[in-house]
Amino acid sequence: MIKKSMRSEHGKTYYWTNENVEKPSIVMLPGLTADRRLFDKQVDEFKNDFNIIVWDCPCHGESRPYSTFNYKFVTKELESILKIENVKSAIFIGQSLGGMIAQYYIEGHQEQAIGFISIDSVPFGNYYSKLDMFWLNQIEWICKLYPDKMLRDFIAKACGITEYTQNSMKLMLSTYSKKELCHLMWIGEAAFILENHEINLKCPVLLLLGEHDKVGKVSQYTREWQKREGYPLHIIKDAAHNSNQDNPDEVNDFIRKYINKWL
């Protein structure tokens, strides 16, 4: 994978691509506190068959400092990257926060989206109570209550049930100071509170959910999303919130199956 970057008034965003330009494109968007390494197993699986673009989301990994995190600015960076790479159409794969960024982006670029695969993510729209939103806004100070190592261990164990996933998350978390990590947890959630609205996706959608995903109400919201919209939902066995890391073989099989249907 080739490391590249683009700069805006808010900061520098890094991304990686294999420049397999003759192939269909897959855009991979990692979740909150994670970086491009979250998708290592998917990049290895699909890099010979597709043009891959995976990034460190603004405020994450190498894409920091970044001045103002919100969905409007972040998706503008994604738009610029896809223009630079001359991506006319793509399948968008987003895990957790990455799935939310994908929805926001696709809303303004419906013609560009061949399909959207949500991995342990949640929908935009009228799904959330005032109490839900209240607790999202409390995350920073709650995280500060934890001793540093305990906080990192807690996040890693919440994200994965396998040793590989937990170690991967700890490695990605190690790039942040505790103060930075707590603030990142907050801005990732607080942005959603201000920008949440109904989004109508016109492309095909696939929902993947780890059977042991116990992060917040992700499982509850995903199941309600499936009921309201009728999207296919597949439960990933032996997997938690980072189901694409806990059980990459099953997730990759579903990705390939559905991409083959959409292309």
Residues sharing a CB contact under 8 Å with residue 255, sequence separation 6 or more, in sequence order: 42, 45, 46, 93, 117
Q: What is the DSSP letter of 204?
A: -
On average, the pLDDT of the chain sits at: 96
CA distance 10 to 67: 5
- The whole-number pLDDT of residue 261 equals 96
- Residue at 191 is within a domain: no
- Residue at 92 is within a domain: yes
- Residue at 42 is within a domain: yes
Domain residue limits at 110: 2-124+197-262
- Residue at 106 is within a domain: yes
Q: How many CA atoms lie within 13 A of 152 on its CB side?
A: 17
- Residue at 168 is within a domain: no
Q: Is the pLDDT of residue 38 over 90?
A: yes
Q: Per-residue confidence at 22, pLDDT binned at 50, 70, 90?
A: confident
Tens of pLDDT along 69-117?
A: 999 999 999 999 999 999 999 999 999 999 999 999 999 999 999 999 9
Indicate whether this model's pTM tops 0.75: yes
Tens of pLDDT along 215-249?
A: 999 999 999 999 999 999 999 999 999 999 999 99
- The whole-number pLDDT of residue 189 equals 86
Q: What is the mean pLDDT of residues 17-30?
A: 94
How many folded domains does the chain comprise? 1
- The whole-number pLDDT of residue 159 equals 98
Q: Per-residue confidence at 179, pLDDT binned at 50, 70, 90?
A: very high
Which residue, chain included where needed, has tokens 């909150």?
A: 32
- Residue at 228 is within a domain: yes
Q: How many CA atoms lie within 13 A of 113 on its CB side?
A: 24
- Nearest residue to 30 (alpha-carbon basis) of 158, 161, 120: 120
| CATH number of the domain that residue 97 is part of | 3.40.50.1820
